[in-house]
Amino acid sequence: MRNNVKITRVKTSMTQQQLAKNVGVTRQTIGLIEKGEYNPTLSLCIAIAKELEKTLDELFWEVED
């Protein structure tokens, strides 16, 4: 699953470690989410969206090509 977490995080000058700490997971988990190799829970998706000041759609919605 592709997502916009990494792009959004980098634009806000936040490190994986900072985001992970702020949402209560490990840096490795954030890395896996950004690569699309980990499906986060809805509550984690919401926490990430709030932290990055984006909507769930903006971060996680898949647009079909």
Taking only the tens of pLDDT, the chain with its 65 residues reads 679 999 999 999 999 999 999 999 999 999 999 999 999 999 999 999 999 999 999 999 876 66
Within 1-65, residue ranges assigned H as helices are: 5-11, 16-23, 27-35, 42-51, 56-60
- The pTM assigned to this predicted structure is 0.90
Q: Domain range holding 10?
A: 5-59
Give the CATH number for residue 17: 1.10.260.40
- Evaluate whether residue 35 is within a structural domain: yes
* pLDDT at residue 2 in the model: 76
* pLDDT at residue 63 in the model: 66
- Evaluate whether residue 10 is within a structural domain: yes
- Evaluate whether residue 64 is within a structural domain: no
Based on the structure, what is the number of domains in the chain?
A: 1
Say how far apart CA 53 and CA 38 lie, in whole Å: 21
SS3 state at 41: coil
- Evaluate whether residue 65 is within a structural domain: no
